Amino acid sequence: MKKEIFILALFLLVKSSFGQEFTNLYGDYLGQTPPGDTPEVFARGIVSDTLLQHSTIAISPDGNEVFWWSFYYGKQTKYFAKRMRRIDNRWTVPGLSAFLGEPLFSVDGKKLYFSSLQGPQYVERQETGWSEPKSLGIIEHFPEIKMVEFRSVTQNGTLYFNGYAEGYKFNMAIYRSELVDGQYTKPELLPSQINIPVDGMLNQTPYIAPDESYLIYCSRSFTPIDDQGDLYICFRNSDGSWADRIKLDESINTKGMERYPSVSPDGKYFFFNRHDPVYEEDIYWVSASFINRLREKIMGE
């Protein structure tokens, strides 16, 4: 009898991991009520659960698939790549994904980027699922970069990411690399409006708009010590230069750490991760309308 119960439990776990068990959630965004101008925890108890969420939410352009990354912090830290799918407008329960690290969809939804022990990789969508993983090739061609973390991608494949940069906090800063004929070009370090050259300043987790018109990222000064990191936005000028950065307001930034920003594929919602002083880490969402309001105020558009 115990053996039968064990086999049944294992069967249910495997089904759940492959997305065959369904929840009572229907509709877009897991059936969650959309937020207004005040950030709210996204899908509390489903996505933002008892684990620590260590990324933003990656949403496919058709709205039928979501990925995120969680971990358990204790005597032994354990990471979990999570996934949910919508089939016939009904969402599966959260299951495990084979794609570790911060998940990221390409703008057209045909690629999913993620981390691995072999470095940054991606898979391509096929009729039967996802392809075998492929390397981005950046570290192989430019070994001095050493790492490609917290990445974001434009509609033409230009990649923004954290890479090795000597002299910056933790030897890490934000880079940009264009995709030309299927290969990434030599990464360029973003200018001082973004990579603030101040001792102790950490700049990380960039999100680039699909049209490359603005960048949102986390900047952390380590002083005061009770403010762990805030989100800033930089708009790009018509000549390709960057305007001075703007700190997002207090409805988004708190004394905790706000990072891993992203905007939903339809442009309606802004997602980010908040790590608060009592060591909770959840994914939040809010109306993305503030971005256009800031653009009009700063750029006069």
DSSP string, 215-274: EEEEEE---STT--BEEEEEEBPTTS-BPPPEE--TTT--SSEEEEEEE-TTS-EEEEEE
Residue 281 banded pLDDT, cuts 50, 70, 90? confident
What's the predicted TM-score (pTM) here? 0.89
Domains identified in the chain, total number = 1
User: Is 2 within the bounds of a domain?
Assistant: no
Where residue 109 falls (left for φ over 0; alpha for ψ -120 to 50; beta otherwise) is: left
As beta bridge partners, residue 207 has 216
Q: What are the tokens at 65?
A: 């698939």
Average pLDDT over residues 31-53: 91
| Nearest residue to 155 via CA among 231, 213, 92 | 213
127-130: list long-range contacts, CB under 8 Å, 24+ apart.
130/99
User: Is 168 within the bounds of a domain?
Assistant: yes
pLDDT value of position 226: 58
User: Is 22 within the bounds of a domain?
Assistant: no
Q: Helix or strand or coil: residue 189? A: strand
User: Is 28 within the bounds of a domain?
Assistant: no
Average pLDDT over residues 222-244: 85
As beta bridge partners, residue 104 has 113
Task: Report the C-alpha gap between 38 and 276 in whole angstroms.
Answer: 17
Task: Report the C-alpha gap between 184 and 191 in whole angstroms.
Answer: 20
pLDDT value of position 256: 85
Residue 245 banded pLDDT, cuts 50, 70, 90? very high
Task: Report the C-alpha gap between 120 and 82 in whole angstroms.
Answer: 18
Rg (CA), the chain: 19
Q: Is 264 within 8 Å of 255 (Cβ atoms)?
A: no
Instruction: Evaluate the CA torsion angle 276, 280, 286, 291 in order and state its sign.
Output: positive
pLDDT value of position 225: 60
Average pLDDT over residues 162-188: 94
> Residue 135 pLDDT more than 90?
yes
User: CA-CA distances (angstroms) from residue 39 to 59, 242, 274, 280?
Assistant: 18, 27, 10, 16
User: Is 258 within the bounds of a domain?
Assistant: yes
Highest mean pLDDT: which of 94-98, 167-171, 267-271, 275-279? 267-271
Q: Helix or strand or coil: residue 122? A: strand
pLDDT value of position 37: 96
Give the CATH number of the domain where residue 267 resides.
2.120.10
292's CB contacts (< 8 A; 6+ apart) are none
As beta bridge partners, residue 58 has 67
Average pLDDT over residues 144-170: 94
130: containing domain: 33-299
Please name the helix (run of DSSP H) or strand (run of DSSP E) that holds residue 293, with its range, or none: helix 289-299
Task: Report the C-alpha gap between 65 and 63 in whole angstroms.
Answer: 6
> What is the chain's mean pLDDT, rounded?
87
As beta bridge partners, residue 180 has 183
> Residue 116 pLDDT more than 80?
no
Average pLDDT over residues 162-190: 94
Residue 80 banded pLDDT, cuts 50, 70, 90? confident
User: Is 9 within the bounds of a domain?
Assistant: no
Q: Which residue has the tokens 């969508």?
A: 125
Percent of the chain whose pLDDT exceeds 90: 66
Average pLDDT over residues 72-80: 75
Task: Report the C-alpha gap between 250 and 51 in whole angstroms.
Answer: 26
User: Is 241 within the bounds of a domain?
Assistant: yes
User: Is 152 within the bounds of a domain?
Assistant: yes
